[in-house]
Chain A
């Protein structure tokens, strides 16, 4: 069974597409589970923000993107990075502070970037990536590259000034950018009910002249369809789209979260809306893959993560040499 590194198209349009969508969602899930396990065993340090439960969003979005299209990501960014096609070993190695890690051990979980797959970087600053994606789209327009830029951000980020200024620039310059809001109902402990005076976050687009779409963020098909339309608009020079995906994070905000601001029942309810079985039932119903093939995909993802963890664990640790020289890129003669 082969799966292309990046495939475009509707997740139900062929067995390959279904396989791809499923493999990527599983990869994200298993990557996050491995990270949680490594933290739990004291083998990883710092903090972590897991995206378990939110796998359909980045997977659906990236199925609508070409390799050259760009993304900016967030503190909860492992899923975006994987969906855009990043190398799992180099990601895991970064989290383990290894030399072969994407940032040479200097960035860690919150700062993975991958120029090869158009990932301009995860971000430790809430909202920090939104204007950057708008700038990438501006460059695309000025250079007539035909590429699209996507900014992933959370519901919480929509209350940063950065979102508002960036949205307006994107709109007035009709830039090929997609503002992709993962509304998981909480920004750390503040719920969208307390942090917003509107129900539908996509309505924020209206004030900027940007179409706002709300979709089920746990349905990779629905996400893909909304994204595909937004990408088409962007490539046609019609400007930005704001997509709000309604989803949920199963785990605490970070390691130190005691989940005091939400109920166990709510968490359980959302676990029943798991994006992976949700897609599997669609795939089975359409007769695109059978159960055996599906099990093989899950196993493949698990094996890939185990391999990444093993490779990363064996890699050489980053050493504190040359840090001063690493601050600036050398000026070329």
Chain B
């Protein structure tokens, strides 16, 4: 199969990355709930259980704290575990091991030990699974020094970033949006072990009127908006940070200096949210002087995600909301 027409879904791309890493390094293994015969609650591990062995694709009991802790211990002892937590909401069960243990060990112990661990987990709303199965938790993890946090928005990035996350000697939280698993991306997924470094923001598309920074699924929604508004003569630069911690601000500064307008979009609640960090850094930088419009942000409402579809939709930014905000910002500030 030729490299330039491989349109994989994100689930397939992630599976491919894990397969490559497991072929490359015997110390890579996966553990999580229902990742074996079942193939993962969202089908991400798929056939890996059959391709490798039950010892390298380990089905666990429902014990999030235990399995993340076991992964930390294995990571300290020469292995490179990839933990799948079935829904990001249940990282709450494992938060001690994530935030108090994995994140702190290298620094706190004076560099004596380190934790090469990847924790992959699906997040986000849109499935009608209500408040305890729908959260976007980017902000939680971004606020813990010692964790790297990756939020892929498309299959090609997901594959390259996951390979780098597995190589990384530090704990990496890899947050995958459920609604993106089954859809192919806009770009083909390169064959082989092509890595994308963590901590490099991506300019998805360039324009001169507005800088739009979005994370995860909001990148996809924003892209649609940018394409649509291009027809109206509004040209948008869309930036996907991809790694929200550490955060690469340079392309954002450069773009703001060109466009003079900034719109930031995230799915999670606005209060204390990650995007506020982007706004703060622009505000503190010399690019701030280039702004000709107030900065605008769109985020989830400060509520738990409701069940009924008509309520759930209202809780997070939709394409129409982004469209209205982007047009407003460009039209009202000249």
Contact = CB atoms under 8 A, between A and B. Distances in A.
A150 B304 CA distance: 27
Interface string A160-172: 1110000000000
Interface string B279-314: 000000000000000000000011110111111011
Nearest to B305: A106
A318 interface: yes
Contacts of A124: 89, 129-133
B76 to A, nearest CB: 21
Given A188-B38, A189-B36, A260-B37, A103 B63 contact: no
B90 A107 contact: no
A256 to B, nearest CB: 8
A324 B301 contact: yes
B233 to A, nearest CB: 33
Given A187-B62, A324-B302, A324-B303, A46 B311 contact: no
A130 interface: no
Contacts of B61: 156, 159, 187, 190, 194-196
B33 A108 contact: no
B66 interface: yes
A107 B310 contact: no
Given A46-B129, A46-B130, A127-B62, A320 B311 contact: yes
Interface of B: 33-34, 36-39, 41, 59-66, 89-90, 93, 127-133, 301-304, 306-311, 313-315
Interface of A: 45-47, 94, 97-98, 103, 105-108, 110-111, 123-128, 156-157, 159-162, 187-190, 194-196, 256-258, 260-261, 317-320, 323-324, 326-327
B179 to A, nearest CB: 14
A46 B90 CA distance: 18
Main secondary structure of the interface of A (DSSP, over half): loop
Nearest to A327: B303
9 contacts: A46-B307, A47-B129, A107-B131, A125-B90, A190-B33, A190-B60, A261-B38, A320-B311, A323-B301
A317 B129 CA distance: 18
Contact of A189 (B59, B129, B310, B314): B59
B308 A190 contact: no
A105 B38 contact: no
Nearest to B64: A160
B306 A160 contact: no
A105 B311 contact: yes
A123 B132 CA distance: 8
A190 B33 CA distance: 8
B128 A46 contact: yes
